[in-house]
Amino acid sequence: MKKYKILGLTGQTGAGKSTVSEVFAKNGAAVINADRLVAELYEPNSVCLKILSAEFGSDIILPNKTLDRKKLAQRAFATKEKTEILGELIHPFVLSLFLKKAEECISADKKLIVFDAPQLFESRANVICDFIISITANENIRKQRIMQRDNISEEMADSRINAQLTESYFKENSDFILENNGSRQELISKAEGLLGYLRQVI
């Protein structure tokens, strides 16, 4: 029997996943953040960038060899098909890098490894997780949070929400659901309670 567990942490945009991730990290879990892995993959001259430029145009790479994120986003999110292509190209790199970092955590005798990944299901990384935790919240609440957090219009917030999996999908495919329709402190308390439970069953 293995001595560690991999937890997949995901959820809808604006639901409060980052708060739960912080709670787990502060309480000793090894948290690996998918967005930070992507940032590593976008380093100048990386294989990942070369593949993206072949698909989305060489001009997404700036003269200093870094990625023009805005230009990539405009092209990759122009259609659902293009968005899917971006995912298909990036997800294998992200998963490979996650496994490498997870190995390092296991070598350091970490018992709880959390993969904080907004696209956990889309990347099919859920198959390597022992438990999946999803954070959900009512759509109107999430919309307000996104608009405030990212300083974007209601229309843009709606498009981000509509691009994600439905709440029912998260609920049907997760082992634990934390609903975040209240205060930040309420969510922190729920996360701490869940973490305490998980430490008992591991």
What is residue 179's predicted lDDT score, i.e. its pLDDT? 97
pLDDT tens readout for residues 121-157: 999 999 999 999 999 999 999 999 999 998 988 988 8
Tell me the residue type at 129: C
Locate 65 and state its tokens.
């060899």
pLDDT at 1 over 60: no
Instruction: Say which residues have a Cβ less than 8 Å from residue 185's Cβ, sequence separation at least 6.
Output: none
Using CB atoms within 10 Å of the CB of residue 114, give its burial: 0 to 12 exposed, 13 to 18 middle, 19+ buried: buried
Cα 135 from Cα 167, distance rounded (Å): 9
pTM: 0.90
What does the mean pLDDT of the chain come to?
93
- For the segment 26-41, the average pLDDT, to the nearest whole number, is 95
Cα 201 to Cα 27, 193, 197, distances in angstroms: 16, 13, 7
**Of residues 21, 66, 25, 76, the one with CA closest to residue 46:** 66
Instruction: Say which residues have a Cβ less than 8 Å from residue 100's Cβ, sequence separation at least 6.
Output: none
Q: What is the largest CA-CA distance in the chain?
A: 52
Cα 124 from Cα 45, distance rounded (Å): 27
Where does the chain have alpha helices with state H?
A: 17-26, 34-41, 47-56, 69-76, 80-107, 139-150, 154-162, 167-172, 184-201
